[in-house]
């Protein structure tokens, strides 16, 4: 039983006045870092996305965003009838195009009938310290869980609360393969904007579909195909690398950075598949006055995609296992798949997931 291994936490969190004393006393909390953490590169600090040594090697903006817990999850098993969480945020961020649950809340999945099924969410309050019941009133049966962390905030501490007579422990079943993860390197969309909760991003859906660990290196506004990030990606010995930085990268940046990044990945492992992804045409580009020097216009985006395609066509001549996803129909053609003209809503993330799933299945068949 986990209670034999993990001591009850004496928390400094203020009491939740909405809960009765009887309910509060019936819940025992355990440090979530004692369980299985997935979605992190090697040698990272708890709930962060780049190793500590990267702080002086990557741009400051990238380092700051790496402190967000996007794509990081906790795997555990429990027979508790109630699952409750307490968590302390680093920043308590507020984003106008994101729900609070996606930005700084959590969501929970359980493994049932050979698939991951959504259970519920932990809604944040207006503060750094948060406490929420995700679900209560379940039968006291052992279940495997996947707890997804916030997309656009960092976690200082996280505790999982269960019934006093129940247990919580590391996964009893492996389910998600953590050897040779899939790594996404991209932009704010990759990081999760603007899904309504953490489990609805396309990297998270890929992880649950293939039961393969996914590392999310989406850096909002700062996905630039940089070799410095590729150096950290390759420490994970990935089975697949998806480079989805085009929306943040002007054509000149793509022409300069992408060949270096592909060459570095190839030098470390010349067989690992690489997927390059075009930028969608942003919804407002259909209405703006066209100017190839203005970011977000039709000509600017086409130049980005043309630069990406040129690098792909050059590298595919000498490097096997490079694949290419075009923007056409990536999130549909009905203009209903973004929140703000750029960032994918839940429909956009689901459609992108379907396209990535098709490509990954094709790659797996070809290997």
The reply to whether CATH 3.40.50.2000 applies to domain 26-61+69-169 is: no
The C-alpha atoms of residue 32 and residue 12 are separated, in whole angstroms, by: 16
Helices of type H across 316-345: none
Does the pTM of the predicted model rise above 0.85?
yes
Range list for CATH 3.40.50.1110 in the chain:
177-366
Q: What's the CA gap between 54 and 44, in Å, rounded?
A: 10
- Parts of the chain belonging to CATH 2.60.120.260: 26-61+69-169
Answer yes or no: CATH 3.40.50.360 is held by domain 177-366.
Answer: no
Long-range contacts from 124-130, C-beta under 8 angstroms, 24+ separation:
124/89, 124/100, 127/92, 128/88, 128/89, 128/90, 128/92, 128/156, 129/13, 129/14, 129/86, 129/87, 129/88, 129/89, 130/85, 130/86, 130/87, 130/88, 130/89, 130/104, 130/105
CA 321 to chain centre: 24
* Separation between Cα atoms, residue 186 and residue 87, nearest integer Å: 27
Instruction: Report how far residue 250's alpha carbon sits from residue 185's, in angstroms, rounded to the nearest whole number.
Output: 16
Mind listing the pLDDT tens digit of every residue in the chain (367 residues)? Answer: 344 345 555 444 444 433 332 344 599 999 999 999 999 999 999 999 999 999 999 999 999 999 999 999 999 999 999 999 999 999 999 999 999 999 999 999 999 999 999 999 999 998 999 999 999 999 999 999 999 999 999 999 999 999 999 999 999 999 999 999 999 999 999 999 999 999 999 999 999 999 999 999 999 999 999 999 999 999 999 999 999 999 999 999 999 999 999 999 999 999 999 999 999 999 999 999 999 999 999 999 999 999 999 999 999 999 999 999 999 999 999 999 999 999 999 999 999 999 999 999 999 888 7
Output the pLDDT for position 15: 41
Cβ-contact 205, 353 below 8 angstroms: yes
User: 1, 159, 158: which is closest to 79 by C-alpha?
Assistant: 1
């Amino acid at each position: 039983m986990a209670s034999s291994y993990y001591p009850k936490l004496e928390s400094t969190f203020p009491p939740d006045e909405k809960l009765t004393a009887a309910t509060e006393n019936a819940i025992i909390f355990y440090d979530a870092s004692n369980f299985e953490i997935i979605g992190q590169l090697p040698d990272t600090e708890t709930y962060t996305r780049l190793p500590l040594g990267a702080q002086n090697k990557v741009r400051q903006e990238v380092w700051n965003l790496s402190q967000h817990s996007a794509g990081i999850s906790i795997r555990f098993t429990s027979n508790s009838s109630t699952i409750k969480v307490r968590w302390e945020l680093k920043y308590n961020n507020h984003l106008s195009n994101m729900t609070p649950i996606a930005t700084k809340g959590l969501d929970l999945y359980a493994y049932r009938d050979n698939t991951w099924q959504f259970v519920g969410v932990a809604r944040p309050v207006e503060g750094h310290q948060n406490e929420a019941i995700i679900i209560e009133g379940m039968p006291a049966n052992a279940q495997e869980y996947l707890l997804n962390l916030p997309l656009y905030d960092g976690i200082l501490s996280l505790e999982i609360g269960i019934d006093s007579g129940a247990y919580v422990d590391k996964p009893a079943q492996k389910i998600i393969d953590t050897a040779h993860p899939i790594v996404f390197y991209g932009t704010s969309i990759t990081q999760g904007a603007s899904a309504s909760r953490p489990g609805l991003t396309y990297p998270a859906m890929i992880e649950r579909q293939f039961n393969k660990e996914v590392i999310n290196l989406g850096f909002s506004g700062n996905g630039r195909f940089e070799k410095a990030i590729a150096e950290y990606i390759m420490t994970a010995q990935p089975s697949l690398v998806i480079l989805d930085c085009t929306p943040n990268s002007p054509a000149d940046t793509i022409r300069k950075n992408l060949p270096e990044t592909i060459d570095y990945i190839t030098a470390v492992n010349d067989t690992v598949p690489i997927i390059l992804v075009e930028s969608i045409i942003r919804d407002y580009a259909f209405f703006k006055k066209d100017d190839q020097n203005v970011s977000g216009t039709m000509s600017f985006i086409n130049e980005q995609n043309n630069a990406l395609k040129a690098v792909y066509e050059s590298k595919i001549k000498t490097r096997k296992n490079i694949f290419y996803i075009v923007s056409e129909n990536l999130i549909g053609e009905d203009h209903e798949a973004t929140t703000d003209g750029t960032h994918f809503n839940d429909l956009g993330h689901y459609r992108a997931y379907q396209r990535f799933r098709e490509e990954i299945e094709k790659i797996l068949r070809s290997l």
